[in-house]
Structure 1
């Protein structure tokens, strides 16, 4: 052996020793070069399920073997997915003990499972379709999962991503796990020597038993495995596609695989597979008005492009140049720019935010349009991407490049059968110069050579739907009518139905007809927010289910008890109280509140006044009917244009149903109250009691009873105090003392409530017009006793006049009161007054009868005889000649003998007059006091009766 050979041997030996020293603790495996810088060249790519049909023959089984048991390892690869499956297994390991490790890229996010260690991590990172994406995983027995995605480390934090229908909200489920070694039964070994590795399928047994629903459809490259944990920078560089990995366990460049029949191997440029972060732009080579350009970009969740620096300017210009044949022949405008100076001339601002423009690339002499050109475009070859101002008129049409958040996820709303068509899509490229959309599982949307948009099933031939031309922009985003080649969603073949293709966030945003998004809380709020005003269309509130019957009352929430209908009455005014006709007229607000768990409601708001059910809608739902039982003409509650029906939102919205074309916040009927209110003017009957008139207090009723439905099905319940009066307490003739409501007790099987109204008659007028005049007349009548007792003519005239006046007044008052079978207190008053007036006349007459005159012709106006008594002997004829004034006396003396006694002839009538006056007036005073005692005692007793109402106003809704 010469010297050179000896040196070579020493180098090899030293190199081997060095490798042994730096080897890990896992059996002394050697470490090769980890990464190489990515430059030109290509790499092999495995294409699985190019036919897009699920298959168990799309697999790649590694022919190598794991050299020793591994307690830790690193796995990296890049994939481009064609379609999702329920589980998309890219990497699968299983040993003879059925201990499994797999990576799953389903539509909910990347999931890593290691069954032996009891580990299952849902990262929530969505793998987009038709885009290259890079991943690195570090698994170790003593640390949690380390995961890198497109150069970024997953921190295990919650984040919002594209949602799915199986979850109640849009929050991705993320689980953090402690160190695997902390698990009592956790194995220290992750990969054992008896395990097999298969790509593209989940192994239920080593290299066997596959399931098409767990297969991978797409392209796979640069899958490498290391027997150690790569450093953080290495993971970032490999997953960011800045360097290529070369695993010491499995090296993609040298690894040998057994391929299934549905797998092909091709060489592909590394640069193409390394576009793991797609540019956030999409070019629409269609010339549009500036307003349509903004709407189109907004419909895809972005804005019209506006470069913010020189690097973005260069990228944007290159993308525009690719479409110059369609957009900018002879150096014309390539695309609109998202800036404007319309608000203030010369002050250019970003259209999306209103902020001042921070970067410009104006062509020489630009902008020069003064107040006529308030928009901007990016020019082509002539200006080499320079900017110029441009008029915003509708006649100017330019292509548009949208700045988007890639990848763009979209959803079809209105798809009722997901077995034929997907409801989720991704914008993945162009076909026929138009956007191309890939469905998650089994369909795609593209622009055909016949210039129509088609939604087509990939798995079933000649199964498609085509968008009808409605005169809008030639893009499927937004709400359009689609015609199916077959019967779909209960509609016949060729019958169109509404579908919405949208990127708006589920449960958060509403899709306008043009595809733009607004907050869902702004829908049907009586203010237009959509550019096409479609947010205020179809604002019906009620959604009756199929088979709903308005004649059947809703079931109660407990199913065993009747449905409670809560009644609340507000008495506004008493229009009239006609006690003579036993009725009163009242204006009242009737409110009824109930729940109908059969219904659903849309777009409910906190403000009940915005949750209106139109009378036309109310005809299609059950509304309770309440009879006004003691009202004239058999009146009851009605549903008409004067009704106001609202919904009190109390529950939370249920999950959005994407089978409906329009987004809506849907609320269950069992959680929210229906409230109907209407003002009625009703004439109620009431039996007024006039015994104590005008000091009477009456109690009238208003009886409300459920119509048609017995109390086994519907009951009428009080809502709060159920009744309140907010009008003027003091009316023309009555004062409203109080109101209260109680349950109606009847023998009939219908539920009802009865309102009691206390009406206190006002007696001031009657005192002034009845009692004061009658009292004065009685006093005048009694005053005749103070006349000279022998002045019969004046005494009798005054007394008769008083009696006549009392009789006339009594007749008038009696005519104003109803005819009753019982006597009234006022009748007794007039009767006593008339009786006393009559007694006065009788007494005056008796006094007159007992008044003895000197001669038969002497009247009461002559002076009574002298109190001296003259006694003449009988049969003695005076001898003296009598004067002429005594002729009558002479005649009597000749024919009869008189014996004149010395008595006073006025003593008896004066005595009768005096005694009678005392007795009558005393009796009058006694009856007067008794009358007013009875009247005021019962009045005071009635005034003490106060209706105790605990609640006069209702602030909440029944529990």
Structure 2
């Protein structure tokens, strides 16, 4: 090659593996290994153009994709110091457009997907009068970068893919000519390339081979849908499932062109796909017997194209599916859906596959794609250097970087497919195990692979609803992973020497008994404890923590809670239930592909264990009944951690701490408030729950206080009777006293007996005393009256007749009037003192 100042490189390329740098053109001379280097930098998303011993080093931003035809043209003019790059702008094979249309098109192209920039040159390295040019007499290599003219190739700097229509010109083509090349438009005016794939100047060496690719395949990729045949025989139902798992559909030709293209590409698989009958592969339709027509299976609609062989184009109960046959080229035939033949899936992107089960140090890859065949089997290509290929009688992993690295499936049938769980013999890897169980799956990271290959969303794993056809999604659903060496007797380790926070919340569901006589309260309570155990890991947690129940939680450490009453005495407890759950708080850990298990794993450092106990508690409460029935009572229960000091564990309020869920109104009292407080005693964390009750005094107002008050008032009214009517006056007062005494006895029997007087006792004593002293007063008044009586009979009238004059006031009458004022006043004073005391007691807890 002679020295040149201009060059243009044009090619179409489909990359199948990632290299740090992928050389498209490497030209080296005796004095420079980078006389010309045009390479793709996929990680930097750029095209690097290096020239003239690195005097020119230009970077053009470009996003290059794998498994897709990319169309690149690079034009370098060293004399004009300009670089023009046009890439990935195929609009299809077409006749040459008009000049006006081309100018409009080029305007859009050059704005959106082309780059033209000035070339920067380090002129300090140029001698006076020296011209910037590419020196001749060197060596040119395509697909490998040379580190010297002898080669010194590095596998990390190599091209792995398919190259089509590779052309190198010794002139700098213009924008219009570059567009013609990139868009596969052949014109007579195009210059003859310095070298291409046909003129014999390039020799194929190394692991390369020539392929024939149609212009339609390379350039007409506007419709991104494409087909892949899987050379494994299966019935129609499994064929539909297979394509669905690959995020594709069972393929059906839409025209004669599609039908011919598919048949010509896949007829070579007939030895593997055809059995007793000449069925080559399934056509993605099924028979609608009611409508006597063929429909697509996923989105049922009539097909617009068919090519049935004569006599085999009608659906029937026996032949309700369709296959491509080899008996007559390009023809379809109705077939039984139980027939087994190959499947062709229609894709919008090349299906990715993931490999799980390798150790972290493994040299093997974990991500693969399929898009080509070898030995009539699909090849699983890794993104970097590994591929899975069918060799002789087994599936083999091989590396283009590490020649000694190999793996093959063992102990399997001959026609087994590599997808699924298999045992592989590994050789030359960094992992210690030589026989490794690995899973190759087409399911994405957000999906779970059923044992039979179906992909389901991960959130349907272990959700108590069967989603996998083989029900494997509801198998091995252990919530917790107990590591070796774990002890359920030891509390979780603290972090940074801080005590373990134990969140506690208490729900009081009902008050079963409130007994003033025995001074006891019986309540139903559910307490919930939450904590983190960093030693554990959990799997497939649901959003609702009650779906994450541990069946055998005796293997996990749970805190022991001791319950005391307000005097620190023991509490009678009846255990109703105990449950242990896991609450999902944080996102799952990053996927660990060193295991074939695809469960979402959650760390115990971020997700809470939730322990619930339901008890019936019976405890004593020292009621203060001095102000009964206008009293308020406070009762408390105390929770403490058993056998753990505050240095290891502390109780922390969770939410409100305590909540009452039942009916607050009891037979005699009303639950006003429930409070939560923490305290430490004897170096142990405690929680105190205090309940405050208010007496429902209205019953006593209507049943006791009002009737007894009325009796005393009646007793006072007897002082208004005629002084001579002693018998009625004394009988009414005595009756009132007896009734009061009876009320007192009955009330005392129905309430708690105490050594001190209660407010209600004081009320009765005061009223009885009032009544008693009124009776004494009546006797005194009668005695005074009898001494003043004349010794003759006199008509006695309880009341004076209308208009009759009252006799002159005597001593008895004066005493009677004084007693009426005194006892009425004393009753009013007693009420004036009693009412404020009652209201004050209702607003003040004792």
Structure 1 length normalisation: TM-score? 0.67
Output aligned runs, 1:900-911, within 5 Å. Answer: none
CA apart distance, 1:694 = 0.9
1:930 aligns with 2:830: no
Question: What is the rounded CA distance, in whole Å, between the counterparts of 1:419 and 1:106 in structure 2?
Answer: 25
Output aligned runs, 1:841-852, within 5 Å. Answer: 842-843=776-777
CA apart distance, 1:765 = 0.8
Question: What is the rounded CA distance, in whole Å, between the counterparts of 1:756 and 1:329 in structure 2?
Answer: 82
Output aligned runs, 1:762-841, within 5 Å. Answer: 762-779=696-713, 781-782=715-716, 802-840=736-774
CA apart distance, 1:358 = 1.5
Q: Deviations over 1:144-172 (max 9, x none)?
A: 6433599989xxxxxxxxxxxxxxxxxxx
Residue equivalent to 1:513: 451
Is the contact between residue 119 and residue 180 of structure 1 (CA under 8 Å) also seen in structure 2?
no
Question: What is the rounded CA distance, in whole Å, between the counterparts of 1:346 and 1:554 in structure 2?
Answer: 71
Is the contact between residue 249 and residue 347 of structure 2 (CA under 8 Å) also seen in structure 1?
yes
Output aligned runs, 1:136-215, within 5 Å. Answer: 136-138=73-75, 142-143=82-83, 145-148=85-88, 180-181=117-118, 192-193=134-135, 201-203=144-146, 211-215=154-158
Distance 1:567 1:925, change over 3 A: same
Residue equivalent to 2:791: 865
Q: Deviations over 1:648-705 (max 9, x none)?
A: 5xx5666433334344556666666666667655445544321211111234445455
Residue equivalent to 1:311: 257
1:500 aligns with 2:439: yes
CA apart distance, 1:412 = 0.9
**SS of 2:544 mapped into structure 1:** helix
Distance 1:236 1:821, change over 3 A: farther
1:480 aligns with 2:418: no
Compare 308-317 and 518-527 and name the one that shifted more: 518-527
Q: Deviations over 1:515-562 (max 9, x none)?
A: 344455555556555444544555556667776666444756xx5765
Distance 1:577 1:437, change over 3 A: same
Is the contact between residue 729 and residue 736 of structure 1 (CA under 8 Å) also seen in structure 2?
yes
1:125 aligns with 2:64: yes
Question: What is the rounded CA distance, in whole Å, between the counterparts of 2:576 and 2:518 in structure 1?
Answer: 30
Distance 1:401 1:222, change over 3 A: closer
**SS of 1:415 mapped into structure 2:** coil
Question: What is the rounded CA distance, in whole Å, between the counterparts of 1:520 and 1:535 in structure 2?
Answer: 9
Output aligned runs, 1:508-547, within 5 Å. Answer: 508-520=446-458, 523=461, 528-538=466-476
Q: Deviations over 1:567-591 (max 9, x none)?
A: 5555554444334444444455655
Q: Deviations over 1:810-862 (max 9, x none)?
A: 344334444445432112112223333443455566668778799xxxxxxxx
Q: Deviations over 1:713-772 (max 9, x none)?
A: 65544455545556555443223434454x424445455554554422111111222213
**SS of 2:238 mapped into structure 1:** helix
1:733 aligns with 2:685: no
**SS of 2:421 mapped into structure 1:** strand
Question: What is the rounded CA distance, in whole Å, between the counterparts of 1:490 and 1:864 in structure 2?
Answer: 135
**SS of 2:364 mapped into structure 1:** coil
1:334 aligns with 2:280: yes
Distance 1:144 1:519, change over 3 A: farther
Is the contact between residue 75 and residue 137 of structure 1 (CA under 8 Å) also seen in structure 2?
yes
Is the contact between residue 450 and residue 470 of structure 2 (CA under 8 Å) also seen in structure 1?
yes
Distance 1:137 1:653, change over 3 A: farther
Gaps in structure 2 of 5+ consecutive residues: 94-111, 795-806
**SS of 1:689 mapped into structure 2:** coil
Query: Residue 194 of structure 2: which of 245, 248, 259 is its match?
Result: 248
Distance 1:434 1:109, change over 3 A: farther
Question: What is the rounded CA distance, in whole Å, between the counterparts of 2:835 and 2:122 in structure 1?
Answer: 101
Is the contact between residue 72 and residue 86 of structure 2 (CA under 8 Å) also seen in structure 1?
no
CA apart distance, 1:208 = 6.8
Query: Residue 691 of structure 1: which of 626, 630, 638 is its match?
Result: 626
Is the contact between residue 13 and residue 70 of structure 2 (CA under 8 Å) also seen in structure 1?
yes
Residue equivalent to 2:334: 389
**SS of 1:308 mapped into structure 2:** coil
Question: What is the rounded CA distance, in whole Å, between the counterparts of 1:817 and 1:633 in structure 2?
Answer: 26
Is the contact between residue 108 and residue 126 of structure 1 (CA under 8 Å) also seen in structure 2?
no
**SS of 1:341 mapped into structure 2:** strand
**SS of 1:759 mapped into structure 2:** strand
**SS of 1:515 mapped into structure 2:** coil
Distance 1:78 1:684, change over 3 A: same
Is the contact between residue 611 and residue 647 of structure 1 (CA under 8 Å) also seen in structure 2?
no
1:290 aligns with 2:236: yes
Residue equivalent to 1:50: none
**SS of 2:748 mapped into structure 1:** helix
Question: What is the rounded CA distance, in whole Å, between the counterparts of 1:132 and 1:912 in structure 2?
Answer: 127
Question: What is the rounded CA distance, in whole Å, between the counterparts of 1:389 and 1:99 in structure 2?
Answer: 62
1:374 aligns with 2:320: yes
Structure 2 length normalisation: TM-score? 0.74
Output aligned runs, 1:37-116, within 5 Å. Answer: 64=1, 67-70=3-6, 73-74=8-9, 76=11, 89=23, 91-92=25-26, 102=37, 112-114=47-49
Query: Residue 292 of structure 2: which of 340, 346, 350 is its match?
Result: 346
Question: What is the rounded CA distance, in whole Å, between the counterparts of 1:440 and 1:838 in structure 2?
Answer: 109
Is the contact between residue 578 and residue 613 of structure 2 (CA under 8 Å) also seen in structure 1?
no
Is the contact between residue 612 and residue 647 of structure 1 (CA under 8 Å) also seen in structure 2?
no
Distance 1:423 1:356, change over 3 A: same
Residue equivalent to 1:413: 356
**SS of 2:118 mapped into structure 1:** helix
Q: Deviations over 1:25-48 (max 9, x none)?
A: xxxxxxxxxxxxxxxxxxxxxxxx
Question: What is the rounded CA distance, in whole Å, between the counterparts of 1:643 and 1:231 in structure 2?
Answer: 75
**SS of 2:670 mapped into structure 1:** strand
Is the contact between residue 592 and residue 675 of structure 1 (CA under 8 Å) also seen in structure 2?
yes
Q: How many residues align?
A: 790
Q: Deviations over 1:218-269 (max 9, x none)?
A: 8989765334444567657767889799643899846588x9xxx5599857
Gaps in structure 1 of 5+ consecutive residues: 1-63, 154-174, 855-862, 869-903, 946-959
Output aligned runs, 1:258-269, within 5 Å. Answer: 264=206, 268=210
Distance 1:748 1:199, change over 3 A: farther
RMSD: 5.4
Question: What is the rounded CA distance, in whole Å, between the counterparts of 2:647 and 2:217 in structure 1?
Answer: 71
Query: Residue 658 of structure 1: which of 593, 596, 601 is its match?
Result: 593
Question: What is the rounded CA distance, in whole Å, between the counterparts of 2:43 and 2:310 in structure 1?
Answer: 51
